[in-house]
Amino acid sequence: MAWNGSAFNRETAQRPPSRKAKRITPASKTILFLALVFAAVGCVIFFLSRNDHLGDDVKPSRPEKASSRRVDVVRREVPPSSAQDRQADQDDVNPVWANAKGLDPALFPYKDGRKVIETRTNEWLAIDICIMPNGVRRKVRRNVSKQLFGHSTDQIIMQALSTGGDEVGPPIPFSEDMEEDFLESLKTPIVIDEDDTPEQRAVKEDVIAAREAIAEQIKEGRSFYDAITDHIAAQAANQDARETVMAAVEELKAGGEGDLVNDYLAESNKILEGMGASPILLSDVEEDDEGQDVESQQRKED
């Protein structure tokens, strides 16, 4: 279960090794150094915010109360002033995203402009292969199973866990006033039925374990809201770190230094695993071969 991360050791954050047989250009050194520094700094900030009494759980991030002072903001829509401005806007569009053929967006819960180029669904899980507006490929898992739980807080926990530890899923409807609902749910044990599928059994086991972890956090002065917020924050940190590494790999390949990718991933994955994120496989950053469809590539990844 991806509810908790792993402790991060900053001393493991090293620059990726370079091959002595090939002279590395200053530009490539800068790309590698900045990518690793970005990931390492993000990890340090994230883990320094953790609660020392909670081991691997991060500190709660409560929303700040709105100021009582009213601030009027005037917004103006400025249309492109010329054909050159419109052309500049078109030039900013990522070509990978622009050339991707997406499925009907009405079929999916995303509102961030991503294109879903493929989706696979079984009885309880949908896997969407997405191209983000910045050209990054993303694989999202969505829970589409029948209702397994009678309490809303259990449903929320299931949704938070359904996308794993490296991906922030669709918005989850939870709030700070759900403490009593969660405590009430603890009075009803989650039962694993004989006719549950292996996938449903795994979901129930994860929610049972998460229930216990959250209950322990509440005893230490935290809340149900804190626990869900922390988990989503950890997912976001892992997602950002992985995407930073993948973007740096694309820069290496674009600069003609694809032979450094293996060494770079080896060093970057040490950082990712240290912060509880999944390592990046070479197949995650390889372009599709001509004539090879996305589904066959994803089967290799799985």
CB 49 within 8 A of CB 58: yes
Q: What is the pLDDT of residue 41?
A: 54
* Residue 187 DSSP code: T
Kind of pairing between the strands at 137-143 and 125-131 = antiparallel
Q: What is the pLDDT of residue 217?
A: 95
Helix axes 261-274, 224-254, angle to 10 degrees: 170
User: CA-to-CA distance for 118 and 297, rounded, in angstroms?
Assistant: 12
pLDDT < 50: residue spans in the chain: 1-2, 5-22, 48-49, 51-83, 288-300, 302
- Which amino acid belongs to residue 130? C
91-100 LR contacts (CB < 8 Å, sep 24+):
94/133, 94/134, 94/135, 95/135, 96/131, 96/135, 97/131, 97/132, 97/133, 97/134, 97/135, 100/131
Tokens of 23: 């002279």
Q: What is the pLDDT of residue 35?
A: 61
Kind of pairing between the strands at 115-121 and 125-131 = antiparallel
Q: What is the pLDDT of residue 94?
A: 92
Q: Where are the domains of the chain?
A: 24-59+93-301
Q: What is the pLDDT of residue 99?
A: 92
Question: pTM to 2 decimals?
Answer: 0.52
Read off the pLDDT of residues 13-37 as tens digits, 9 standing for 90 and up. Answer: 334 444 444 455 555 555 655 566 5
* Residue 52 DSSP code: G
Nearest to 183 by CA among 159, 158, 151, 221: 151
Instruction: Pinpoint the alpha helices (H) of 72-223.
Output: 83-91, 95-99, 152-162, 179-185, 198-219
CA 244 to chain centre: 12
Q: What is the pLDDT of residue 188?
A: 94
Q: What is the pLDDT of residue 288?
A: 43
CB 155 within 8 A of CB 143: no
Q: What is the pLDDT of residue 29?
A: 56
Nearest to 232 by CA among 290, 181, 165: 165
